[in-house]
Structure 1
Amino acid sequence: MPAIVGIAQVVSVGSSGVFHIGDVFTINPISTAKTFAGAGSFITGRGISVYNESSLTYTVDDEVMDQGINFNL
């Protein structure tokens, strides 16, 4: 569905970032990353309380290969 977009100012876009306005069929990444983090690691904001009695971040990766990005050029 078409949209009317006002002024957009882009200060910077990272090397693997995507900036998109309007309709799009597909957006393909050109890089990947794997992140391991414990409970409450990515919570942001004011007045947030995290009660975690037992935390374990399982970082053993038994997979030989993850999903590839070979055809996303």
Structure 2
Amino acid sequence: MPAYVGAVQVINVSSSGVFHIGDVIQIRPISNTKTFSGAGSFNTGDGLAIYNQYSATNTLDNDGIDQGINFNL
């Protein structure tokens, strides 16, 4: 059923967000990212003591193309 919508103010829509008004069958926000992180990067908690004597993250990516998201449902 169609909807009548009054004034709408959109301040921000994130890169993988969706702003939609009206009828819809399917909404699929899709995004991808590549994350490089060194040793101990994603540790969380209270009172952590992390000892990494030497940490180097290899960010060399020779393949050029990663897995696509074209046909993800």
Q: Give the TM bin, normalised by the shorter chain.
A: 0.5 to 0.7
Letter in 2 for 1:69: I
Instruction: Show the counterpart of 1:9.
Output: none
Question: How does the TM-score come out when normalised to structure 2?
Answer: 0.56
Task: Report the count of equivalent residues.
Answer: 50
Letter in 2 for 1:60: L
Question: How does the TM-score come out when normalised to structure 1?
Answer: 0.56
Distance 1:29 1:62 in 2: 28
Are positions 1:44 and 2:44 aligned together? yes
Distance 1:53 1:36 in 2: 19
Distance 1:54 1:40 in 2: 11
The answer to whether the 8 A contact 1:29-1:72 is kept is no
Are positions 1:67 and 2:70 aligned together? no
Q: Which runs of 4+ in 1 moved over 2 A?
A: 14-17
Letter in 1 for 2:54: S
Q: CA deviation at 1:16?
A: 3.3
Over alpha carbons, which structure has the higher Rg? Answer: 2
Q: Which has the higher contact order (CA 8 A, sep 6+)?
A: 1
Instruction: Show the counterpart of 2:4.
Output: none
Structure 1's unaligned 5+ residue stretches are 1-13, 18-27
Q: CA deviation at 1:15?
A: 5.1
Alignment of 1:1-73 (within 5 A): 16=16, 30-73=30-73
1:11-64 CA-to-partner distances (Å, cap 9, x unmatched) read xxx6537xxxxxxxxxx8711000111111111110111111111110111112
